[in-house]
Structure 1
Amino acid sequence: MASSTDDLGLPLLSEGKVRRIYRLPDQPGRLLMVATDRISAYDHILSPDIPDKGKVLTGISLWWFDQLGDIVPNHLISTDVPEAVAGRAMVVEELSMFPVECVVRGYLTGSGWAEYQDHGQVCGIPLPEGLQDGSRLPEPIFTPATKAEYGEHDENIDFDTLVTIVGPQVAGELRRLSLAIYSRAEQIARDHGIILADTKVEFGARADGTIVLGDEVLTPDSSRFWDADQWAPGGANPSYDKQFVRDWLTQESGWDRHGDQQPPALPAEIVAATRDRYLEAWTAMTGLDDPLGAAATDADRITPMARVVVDVMPKPEILDPQGKAITGALGRRSHEGLTVRQGKRFEITGEGVEDRLEEIRQIADEMLANTVIESYDIHVER
């Protein structure tokens, strides 16, 4: 999408079915990601919106970023956002996103169930005979998909195809990280009485090649959550996700999703029930009694992940060839009066990391900086 501006007064970088991404001109390398209240199904944006859905998606993602911080870094910088989008937006790193959806399935359902019925496998992975819709798999499986443009369909691919898209090393790391995220999240969800049937995550890369978790994570839009007490293979499982809307569209509305007509408007009772399901998912997972109140009055109560940042720089008296070369190049390009020094940035995450600054200072002394020629600064970011 071409860059434009809207009522936020910021350059609009892209707009998907649910999210808008803006550039922050005064923060290079940072983006504003806003979750709208729109809901989509079968590659159509539905109407009307689901009230508060964007806040739910943002709040759940923030909570999960905190739970997964020791597995993989994520793109969250802060929740200090314009008042107009408070509670439904976050400032994130700009990454080079991999053009694939990283899907992990712990249970057989959805497109995986359809593929299993036809071929006895999912994305090239053979599965045991006799499984039913909703069966728990012997072990979680990584089933990537191509990331389609708006209006097109994602397509499941096998691992070899993923390798041709991102290369063998990245493909292997995407699989490892995706399975690790699912394993952690599945156990946490189970402890809260919820089954995580499957989930979709997205990753990008920093300039130095570090793989980072991006977009949303483990929300009802990107995951299939079932009530553990009501789960049973072989039948419909009550869900906390937008399957509720999909079922109404395909079973009650009379709409043919394979036809050319746009889907009908959602009735008021479906809108209200869908909003309730999203809020139930948030409350059940996080334990917040008033999640919307938490989002509206104090973003920190959603528990964004804290990280300790260690910035390492050569001491002023130490020759810095790379910085000197860049400084000279700037002068030749008429950028006078600027001096560049090259440094390194380390991000440290983990439980209670903001309370372990002395320990991290010791780590910086011993491993992160050569204190003979380098100095460092330590600070906490959320």
Structure 2
Amino acid sequence: MPKRFSTKNLTVVQEPTENRSGVGIFEFTDDYSVFHYSKMPDQIPGKGEAICRMADFNFRMLEQTGIPTHFRRFIEPNKLEFTLVRVQNPAVEPIPRGQVNYLVPLQVIFRNVLAPNNSLRRRHEEGRVDLSELGLASLPPDGVPLQEPIVEFTTKLEEIDRFVSVAEARHLSGLDDSHLAELRKTALKVDDVITEHARSVGLDHADGKIEFGITGDGQLILVDNAGTPDENRLMRRGQHVGKQILRDFYLARGLEKQVQDWARDGVPRSQWDRPEPLPTGFAATMSDLYRSLCETWTGERIWGVPPLDDALETARLLNTGSVAW
């Protein structure tokens, strides 16, 4: 479900109640965000439609494997209708056990490989993660597939989300051990389906994040969306495909540290400095990349954009400075 600074717009068609789900519509925009900044200065033309079409494809694919979701229908070109549950913030009032018809206030992170610049390695170096809770004695080198996927949890409704232990995830979510185990099992199944499809179209699936809700009858369902380059780290021959390219551009300009400093110092988001815009040509290149990835992923030829490898090579040259702005 989107935050107030999400790049998706939410329209509530029918409000959910304590024991009855509602109906909502997501409009996927051409905005993007990195490092929890909020919307960045530029838009990526066609990104919203590309992400939406991938989300539609993935929901249908996941449901065919028996994974229940909130998906109802795709509304061309860039909207999804879905079952809407209530949003309850545990920071305002704890969520009691047995609660129904609500958004689980967690993001579930799964990792198949440690991609470059992954947060797990940074947190480990800072002493902020217990590897034993992840079933690890040590961290493998970046790029080396893990023997088993790692599952972690972050908060969902805080101003800037943070990683939490299993015990805190259980406390925040209102889920008992059996429901938390079911959530983890379902997350791994989603990961497996996305990973296998990525492999079938020549991509590697490094990691991703998903969200869940509880329906009025207590069923766990997948919500928001899954398997798109906004939620998942997709790679092709070691090169990032999607938003990570934009993250890398701003990482080199210190934006991630700035955001962390502003958040640590309690600077209101309205007072954060505006990041520099993308150089001329970068947004157009990313537009080709998102749309080409969508065509590759879904098998539908919609825009007739350059092949994915061509778009990736242009993005690589831009981000390494090999092409003049």
TM over 0.5: yes
Q: Say if 1:291 and 1:184 are closer, same or farther in 2 by CA, change over 3 A.
A: farther
Cα offset, 1:148, TM superposition: 4.0
Matched, 1:114 2:122: yes
2:290 matched to which residue of 1? 278
Structure 1 residues 333-372: aligned runs within 5 Å: none
1:202 matched to which residue of 2? 211
What is the RMSD of the two structures over their aligned residues, measured on CA atoms?
2.6
Alignment check: 8 A CA contact 1:14 1:21 kept: no
Matched, 1:54 2:63: no
User: What code does the residue aligned with 1:36 have?
Assistant: T
Compare 272-281 and 119-128 and name the one that shifted more: 119-128
1:179 matched to which residue of 2? 188
Computing the radius of gyration over CA atoms, which structure comes out larger, 1 or 2?
1
User: What code does the residue aligned with 1:243 have?
Assistant: Q
Alignment check: 8 A CA contact 1:32 1:90 kept: yes
Q: Give the counterpart of 2:172 among 154, 165, 178.
A: 165
Structure 2 length-normalised TM: 0.74
User: What code does the residue aligned with 1:240 have?
Assistant: V
1:248 matched to which residue of 2? 249
User: What code does the residue aligned with 2:79 have?
Assistant: A
CA deviations on 1:240-289 (whole Å, 9 max, x unpaired) are 121111111122x4657425533111123221122222123212222222
In the alignment, the residues of structure 1 paired with residue 15 and residue 138 of structure 2 have an alpha-carbon distance, to the nearest angstrom, of 57
User: What code does the residue aligned with 1:30 have?
Assistant: V
Matched, 1:88 2:78: yes
1:189 matched to which residue of 2? 198
Structure 1 residues 300-311: aligned runs within 5 Å: none
In the alignment, the residues of structure 2 paired with residue 123 and residue 261 of structure 1 have an alpha-carbon distance, to the nearest angstrom, of 39
2:103 matched to which residue of 1? 97
Other structure's SS at 2:111 match: strand
User: What code does the residue aligned with 1:159 have?
Assistant: V
Cα offset, 1:74, TM superposition: 1.2
Asked which structure has the greater RCO (Cα within 8 Å, sep 6+), the reply is 2
Cα offset, 1:195, TM superposition: 0.6
Cα offset, 1:292, TM superposition: 8.3
CA deviations on 1:86-141 (whole Å, 9 max, x unpaired) are 41111111122110001111111311222344458558314354622222111101
User: What code does the residue aligned with 1:93 have?
Assistant: T
User: What code does the residue aligned with 1:269 have?
Assistant: G
Q: Give the counterpart of 2:34 among 38, 41, 49.
A: 41
Moved over 4 A (4+): 25-28, 118-123, 253-256
In the alignment, the residues of structure 2 paired with residue 122 and residue 268 of structure 1 have an alpha-carbon distance, to the nearest angstrom, of 43
Cα offset, 1:215, TM superposition: 0.6
Alignment check: 8 A CA contact 2:121 2:139 kept: no
In the alignment, the residues of structure 2 paired with residue 122 and residue 199 of structure 1 have an alpha-carbon distance, to the nearest angstrom, of 19
For structure 2, the 5+ residue unaligned runs are 86-101, 262-271, 306-325
In the alignment, the residues of structure 2 paired with residue 136 and residue 290 of structure 1 have an alpha-carbon distance, to the nearest angstrom, of 33
Alignment check: 8 A CA contact 2:206 2:235 kept: yes
CA deviations on 1:347-372 (whole Å, 9 max, x unpaired) are xxxxxxxxxxxxxxxxxxxxxxxxxx
Q: Say if 1:207 and 1:48 are closer, same or farther in 2 by CA, change over 3 A.
A: same
In the alignment, the residues of structure 1 paired with residue 109 and residue 134 of structure 2 have an alpha-carbon distance, to the nearest angstrom, of 13
Alignment check: 8 A CA contact 1:18 1:37 kept: yes
Other structure's SS at 2:216 match: coil
1:366 matched to which residue of 2? none
Structure 1 residues 3-42: aligned runs within 5 Å: 15-24=4-13, 29-42=22-35
In the alignment, the residues of structure 1 paired with residue 42 and residue 105 of structure 2 have an alpha-carbon distance, to the nearest angstrom, of 30
Alignment check: 8 A CA contact 2:255 2:275 kept: yes
User: What code does the residue aligned with 1:108 have?
Assistant: L
In the alignment, the residues of structure 2 paired with residue 279 and residue 55 of structure 1 have an alpha-carbon distance, to the nearest angstrom, of 8
In the alignment, the residues of structure 1 paired with residue 142 and residue 180 of structure 2 have an alpha-carbon distance, to the nearest angstrom, of 28
User: What code does the residue aligned with 1:23 have?
Assistant: V
User: What code does the residue aligned with 1:21 have?
Assistant: L
Alignment check: 8 A CA contact 1:106 1:141 kept: yes
1:71 matched to which residue of 2? 66
Alignment check: 8 A CA contact 1:71 1:180 kept: no
In the alignment, the residues of structure 2 paired with residue 22 and residue 179 of structure 1 have an alpha-carbon distance, to the nearest angstrom, of 30
Structure 1 length-normalised TM: 0.64
Other structure's SS at 2:218 match: coil
CA deviations on 1:25-54 (whole Å, 9 max, x unpaired) are 599821111111110011122111111111
1:145 matched to which residue of 2? 154
Identity of aligned residues (%): 23
Other structure's SS at 2:112 match: strand
In the alignment, the residues of structure 1 paired with residue 196 and residue 219 of structure 2 have an alpha-carbon distance, to the nearest angstrom, of 26
User: What code does the residue aligned with 2:42 have?
Assistant: P
Q: Say if 1:265 and 1:108 are closer, same or farther in 2 by CA, change over 3 A.
A: same
Compare 68-77 and 216-225 and name the one that shifted more: 68-77
